[in-house]
Homo-oligomer: A and B are copies of this chain.
């Protein structure tokens, strides 16, 4: 749908739609999310919104795209530790803002009841994991990690403790977590735990 012809005006529409989608999700949830409600909230003509985002999942998609683009701290310092600590600190900072936590929480909950929301969320994580794995792929190429390390597993290990505390055990994200999450993922990766060749009983 993006085109260089529509230019600045359309970007403004997109930004307004993203903000209104986020606010609708936080205040009213996924169940009632629609192009009509988002258009009303954003003060944009319904047909303009509808033309580009035909349903709730298209709106969630564009909101998650914003999350994925702006909130992932991806360094390339050449040091796996520095890069993964930055990524981990970035996740902590992202969810230090309650509204962002609520957006992801609402989508996680929506996914339990809506196969389309689940699919949208699954695509988001797949993109996000693949992007975040860049420093791990570099470390493997540089011989810093075992050659058959699964980069995505390292990133899953880094991220899991945040989501586990936020949405499962309902514990606070303490200050030490970002450091521990990165260090634990790196220690396990160095020990060969995420090697694809690892024997299940080895």
A153 sits at the interface (CB 8 A): yes
Contact of A184 among B157, B159, B200 (CB under 8 A): B157
A122 sits at the interface (CB 8 A): yes
Distance in angstroms between the alpha carbons of A56 and B105 in the assembled complex: 23
Q: Contact: B184 with A193, CB < 8 Å? A: yes
> Contacts A184-B193, A200-B176, A200-B179: A170 and B121 contacting too (C-beta < 8 A)?
yes
Copies of this chain, complex-wide, total: 2
Residues from chain B with a CB closer than 8 A to the CB of A156 are 161, 164-165, 169
Interface membership of chain A positions 157-187, coded 1 if the CB is closer than 8 angstroms to chain B and 0 otherwise:
1011101110111110001100110011101
Could you say which of A43-51, A71-79, A108-116 contacts chain B?
Answer: A108-116
Which residues of A come within 8 Å of B, CB atoms? 105-106, 108-109, 111-112, 118, 121-122, 125, 129, 153, 156-157, 159-161, 163-165, 167-171, 175-176, 179-180, 183-185, 187-188, 190-191, 193-194, 198, 200-201
